[in-house]
Amino acid sequence: MKSNSKSLGKIFKTPLLIAFASALGLLFALLSDGVFDVLSWLLLSVPVYASRGLLKFKSNKNISMNQKTQKAQYESLN
Amino acid sequence: MLTLNSRSIRIWAWIHKWTSLISTLFILMLCITGLPLVFEHEIEHAMMPELEQVSADIPSPSLDSILASAEANRPNEQALYFILDKDDPLALVITAESTMAGPDDLYYQAFNLRNGHKIDMPQPTEGIMYVIKKLHVDMFAGLPGMLFLGGMTILMLIAIISGVVLYTPFMRKLEFSEIRQSKGQRTRWLDLHNLLGIVTVVWLFVVGLTGAINTLAMPIEQVWQATELIDMASTHKDKPVTSQLASLDIVAENLRKERPDLTLLTIAMPNTPFASPHHYGLYMVGATAVTSRLLTPALADAGTGDITSLREMPMYVKALFISQPLHFGDYGGLPLKILWVILDLLTIVVVVSGLYLWIVRRKSKVNIAQLANNNEEPE
């Protein structure tokens, strides 16, 4: 394997932690009320937090909106 | 252990593509209808008027009088079920023309347990929430619909497993949660799909698996009725059917004496499918987080009100009951429900992004396997 390729363990390290937190979170609220519910909310927030990259996701085409507007303005002047 | 060579990647990619494609539209429907259903209980309560408060020193009317009220309101019908609410002093009486009536022929009436007044509420079998629930549970197709959705969900579970396997080649050279925004549309949507997919794996697998188990509710109920219930009622098999029914209040009191730790939820009237010709069927729950979701069944002699049989539900029924909170997300308060909704929305993005990736791959003629193989070195 090339040196910049990750091993299986490295690839799955964070996903496994998130999976473990999720499983424990699902289980805790089922086992008991009170503090176990709160622990469950914290644990199940882990996968949600891990997905925050979605908020910065740019789904539009290659050129950003600013560049598009500038380009249109330039063209309308000429 | 499976080696991730070019050939196995191709196989896993094929599995992932086909299990996803076949189930996608149904899974999307389940995710979308699932969103409002997380708050079903809250929505139901919002549609009911405020319960009249009654001071504690005024005694409650008897359960018998409430049953009589309900039957008087529906002259051609008889009571089938008397259901006590877990949280509020509320009783739901279900009536129908025949004891064998199907779900579409049932009539629901709610009563304030503290003063016996009928509560004005819409039939649960009408309205938008009913439509959403029916779509989610069986697409209005009854048992075949439920089993079909169960099948689609199993395909989704296989799609999840194959997706986890395929995560490997795609993440060989990427950091966790890295999304290559500067590259083309396909690449950034692929990175998003992989990120959201891998973080929702456990939640989606549990919700999917428990959903599939819930589609077996009818067969499980039928097996229980044909085996356990008949066994519980067998003491009275050859006796004549009583004409004078025992008081519900006496039955409830006998139950309280027998098992003070349990709370009575449902009374099934004699001759209905969850009782017997000679018995009332009684269904109770415990007080702890787990036992509050497990029903304990009992039978009471229809004529005397004595408890003649009480036992635990068998494992296969308990499995169904435990699958319910894990599927609905209603066992950890409001914050859990909010997390459930967020995870559901993330799942929708996974499904939609997957569909998008499949649609656009046609233009470049590169498929999952080829993309994955480009990353993975030959072993």
Task: Inform me whether the C-beta atom of residue B177 falls under 8 Å from chain A C-beta atoms.
Answer: yes
Question: Mean of the pLDDT values across residues B282-308?
Answer: 94
Q: Where are the alpha helices (DSSP H) in B140-293?
A: 142-170, 185-214, 217-224, 230-233, 248-258
pLDDT at A60: 66
What pLDDT band is residue B377 in, cutting at 50, 70 and 90?
very low
Instruction: Quick: pLDDT tens for B66-119.
Output: 999 999 999 999 999 999 998 889 999 999 999 989 888 999 999 999 999 999
Whether pLDDT at B50 is above 50: yes
Nearest beta carbon to residue B289 from set A4, A31, A51: A31
Confidence of residue A62 (pLDDT cuts 50, 70, 90): low
Q: Cβ contact (<8 Å) for B339 and A41?
A: yes
Confidence of residue A6 (pLDDT cuts 50, 70, 90): confident
pLDDT at B22 over 50: yes
> Nearest chain B Cα to A45, which residue?
B339
Q: Which residues of A touch B168 (CB under 8 A)?
A: 8, 11-12
Instruction: Tell me, yes or no, if B372 comes closer than 8 A to chain A by beta carbon.
Output: no
How many alpha carbons lie under 13 Å from residue B335 in its C-beta half-sphere? 16
State the Cα torsion B27-B33-B39-B43 to the nearest 10°. -170
pLDDT at B191: 95
Contacts of B166 in chain A (CB under 8 A): none
Contact (CB<8Å) A50/B172? no
Check B346 against A51: CB less than 8 A apart.
yes
- Is the Cβ of A39 closer than 8 Å to some Cβ of chain B? no
By the CB < 8 Å criterion, does B342 face chain A?
A: yes
Q: What was the ipTM of the complex prediction?
A: 0.89
**Chain B residue with Cα closest to A62:** B184
Q: How confident is the model at residue B378 (pLDDT cuts 50, 70, 90)?
A: very low
CA separation, residue B68 to residues A13, A51, B111, B261, B315 (Å): 63, 56, 12, 29, 37
Q: Does B202 touch chain A (CB under 8 A)?
A: yes
Q: Which residues make beta-bridge pairs with B107?
A: B95
User: Mean pLDDT score of chain B, rounded to an integer?
Assistant: 93
Beta strand B279-285 with B296-301 is: antiparallel
Span B218-265, pLDDT tens digits: 999 999 999 999 999 998 877 888 888 999 999 999 999 999 999 999
* Residue-wise pLDDT tens digits, B178-225: 999 888 888 999 999 999 999 999 999 999 999 999 999 999 999 999
Residue B81: helix, strand or coil by DSSP?
strand
